[in-house]
Chain A
Amino acid sequence: MRGNRLYKTFINIGGALILGLLLSFFITLFINSLPSIKKYGFDFITSKIWDPVFEKFGAFPFIIGTLLTSFISLIISIPFSISVSLFVAEYYENTFFSRIFETLVDLLAGIPSVIYGLWGFFYIVPIVSNIQIKLSISPTGVSIFTASLVLSIMIIPYASSIAKEVIKLVPNDLKEAGYSLGATRYEVIKNIIFPYAKSGIFAGILLSLGRAIGETMAVTMVIGNSIQLPKNIFQPGNTIASIIANEFTEAVGELHLSSLIELGLILFLITLIINLFANLIIKRHGFEI
């Protein structure tokens, strides 16, 4: 790198900052989780009880809730994400129509999550409530399913924007070759574009997952905030992010607070790993997002 000493030093501060940031996040979370780690050890992850009165804390219901909502929302969102990316990058590539559409999808990504929560609370909850009545379940409206629905809409833009970029990168001559052999559009997509773009699409999906796992506000307003393990997806549940938001300012005992921070640590590590994975895949395919 060129430049004089002063410049280099100045720049290196920037680097140190980035390095220091993630590291110090981890250290802070870890140190403050110690009381809880020491007391519960590994059982923290498997224990189902969250009892502030008798000071027994276990993360299991929240881990399950987080995993359930994230994966269900992912599954729901995938067909939409892929459709959006194909729509914009293939079928209507470079048309006025698709540019407007892209703008609208960006809008979807820009809506603050607390507003998604509002919308979910007033519009989706009554719909799910009706479904619950038909299934003869307690018509709370709020449930794991409700949260998954709202989440699925929120995470669509994350996967679709990456998938769209990858799909655009598929070399035209490959596609032309397919068409010249008489393939239909569908066949080109299925046999040429998808195999070529599949790891990029996968990375995009991973990023969606990462977002879903960490989402707080929208989830906490529609999930029901139950501390029991839900028996099915139409029952209320809770996620790690949601319970931290609910109880953090009010945790009265040191152990309670430490347990919440330990939950935060777990969340931090999970999203870290998922994002790392996604990034490595993208890097391997030589394009940046």
Chain B
Amino acid sequence: MIRKILSIIWFFLITITKLNAGVELTGAGATFPYPLYSKMFDEYYKTYGIKVNYQSIGSGGGIRQLKEKTVDFGASDAFLSDEQLKEFDGEILHIPTCLGAVVITYNLDLPQKIRFTSDLIADIYLGKITKWNDGRIRKVNPGLNLPDLPITVVRRADGSGTTFVFTDYLSKVSSEWKEKVGRGTSVNWPVGIGGKGNEGVSGLVKQTKGAIGYVEFTYALQNKLPYGIIKNKSGNFIEPTVESISEAGNVKLPEDMRISITNTESKKGYPISAFTYILVYSDLSKANDKMDYEKAKTLANLLWWITHEGQKYTKSLDYALLSKEAQKNAEKLLKKLNFNGKMLLK
């Protein structure tokens, strides 16, 4: 009797393991582009029937799982440093998928958007400016009736590429920040409460009067939160829009696409913009144990699609698409993809 039950269970297990043996790709990482990838992978599935399971556990998570070889590809807003690259046992490609921006969102009832300068943002996050009606903020916003409310600083609790982009910007514009805190996916924040993911931060800001937070552009729009207009390197106050974000990427791009475009040189560019990347081993046989030629080819095709046909989904979700130059660089990188030497794309 028991034997019968056991054999039925065993048979059941084997069957359902064999079922669903179609090609499925697993990826993890950045929450920044999650809405876009969600849409892209949904469309890709509808068109090609390939399932892509992407979990937005944060850029830090994407890098880690890529290293631990538990996923097929990682995703990060933070590009890997030279030291980090050394920790991988193969070459890692940074495939840009789109541009996004970190906006400064806040919870105040004001008739127009607040203007920020780079040092204001840095000092708020350093805990040096603690009230909204601080003289320095008022100076940049004449005519705006800023309330006598404490500034509740919100930042990310988890390891995040959005944090990387933001702290990268702060390190460039504030030497105090660079020394005390530095840039990274997770840092030792001087002040602030942590929210999990872009969702957590925007959720917290939405709940707290007088809160300030940094989130990816789409999240601010979705939560219908106001966001600040920021003075860029050229001295222009730029509002984050799909156009100004693309503008920020209009600079000379290196071939490996590992470039930080925060505090951009571009005159009309929004100063806290960044490329977001999908990270893959160039030799996909190194990705993990379950990778085979079929799967590698599927992944390569997916990445090509993301950087070409997939780009049409960016605008409606308020992401900026890749410039011609960025796309060309992406193509060159993708053509490096191979499986144990066997090239995957022509």
> Residues on A close to B: CB < 8 A?
49-54, 56, 121, 125-126, 129, 133, 137-142, 220, 224-228, 236, 238, 246-247, 249-252, 256
Whether A252 touches B64, Cβ cut-off 8 Å, given contacts A49-B188, A53-B186, is yes
Given A250-B61, A252-B63, 19 other A-B contacts at CB below 8 A?
Answer: A49-B188, A54-B182, A137-B150, A140-B152, A140-B204, A140-B208, A141-B208, A226-B193, A228-B191, A246-B157, A246-B196, A247-B159, A249-B65, A250-B64, A250-B158, A250-B159, A252-B84, A252-B186, A256-B186
- On whether the beta carbons of A246 and B192 are closer than 8 Å, the reply is no
**In the complex, chain B residues whose CB is within 8 Å of the CB of A53:** 181-184, 186-188
Minimum CB distance partner of B192 in chain A: A226
* A-side contacts of B184, CB under 8 Å: 52-53
A133 to B147, CA, bound (A): 14
Chain B contact-residue range equals 35 or more
Which label, helix, strand, loop or mixed, suits the secondary structure of the A interface?
loop
Pick the contact of A249: B57, B160, B192 (CB < 8 A): B57
Asked if B272 lies at the interface with its beta carbon under 8 angstroms from chain A, I say no
What is the minimal beta-carbon distance from B334 to any residue of chain A, in angstroms? 25
15 A/B residue pairs, CB under 8 Å, sorted by A: A49-B188, A51-B187, A52-B186, A126-B207, A138-B150, A140-B204, A225-B157, A226-B194, A246-B158, A247-B159, A250-B60, A251-B159, A252-B159, A252-B186, A256-B186
On chain A, the residues within 8 Å of B65 by CB distance are 249
- Interface hits, B166-210 → A, CB 8 Å: 181-189, 191-196, 203-204, 207-210
Contacts of B207 in A (CB 8 A): 125-126, 129, 141
Residue of B nearest to A242 (CB): B157
Does A249 lie within 8 Å of B181, measured CB to CB?
no
Q: CA separation between A50 and B194, bound complex, in Å?
A: 14
* A247 CB contacts on chain B under 8 angstroms: 60, 158-159, 186
Which residues from chain A contact B157 at a C-beta distance below 8 Å?
Answer: 225, 246
Are the C-beta atoms of A252 and B60 separated by less than 8 Å?
Answer: yes
CA–CA, A121 to B208, complex, Å? 12
Given contacts A139-B152, A251-B159, contact A225 B186 (CB under 8 A): no
Chain B contact residues: helix, strand, loop or mixed: loop
Is B95 located at the chain interface by the 8 A CB criterion? no
**Which of B84, B159, B194, B209 makes the CB contact (< 8 A) with A227?**
B194
Contact between A224 and B187, CB atoms less than 8 A apart: no
Q: Give the residue name and chain of the A residue nearest to B209 (CB).
A: A139
Q: B58 contacts the other chain (Cβ, under 8 Å)? A: yes
- Nearest residue in A to B182 (C-beta to C-beta)? A53
Docked Cα-Cα span, A56 to B186, in Å, equals 12
Chain B residues whose C-beta falls within 8 Å of the C-beta of A256 in the assembled complex: 186
Chain B residues lying within 8 Å of A141, measured Cβ to Cβ, are: 207-208
Tell me the nearest residue of chain A to B84, going by C-beta.
A252
| CA distance in complex: A138, B207 (Å) | 13
The yes or no answer to B211 lying at the interface (CB within 8 A) is: yes
Report A-chain residues with C-beta under 8 Å of the C-beta of B196: 220, 225, 246
A242 → chain B, closest Cβ, in Å? Answer: 9
Cα distance A52–B78 when bound, in Å?
15
Q: A49-B188, A53-B181, A246-B157 are in contact. Are A129 and B61 (CB under 8 A)?
A: no
A142 lies within 8 A of B193 (CB): yes
Name the A residues within 8 Å of B61 (CB-CB).
249-250
Q: In whole angstroms, what is the CA distance A175 to B28 when docked?
A: 64
* 9 closest cross-chain pairs (CB), A and B: A225-B194, A250-B60, A250-B159, A225-B157, A51-B188, A250-B61, A53-B184, A52-B186, A224-B193
A57 to B84, CA, bound (A): 19
The distance in angstroms between the C-alpha atoms of A126 and B64, with both chains bound, is 36
A256–B207 CA distance with the chains assembled, in angstroms? 31
Residue of B nearest to A53 (CB): B184
- Closest Cβ of chain A: how far from B10's Cβ, in Å? 20
**Complex formed: what's the CA distance from A121 to B179 in Å?**
35
Q: What's the least CB distance linking B143 to chain A, in Å?
A: 26
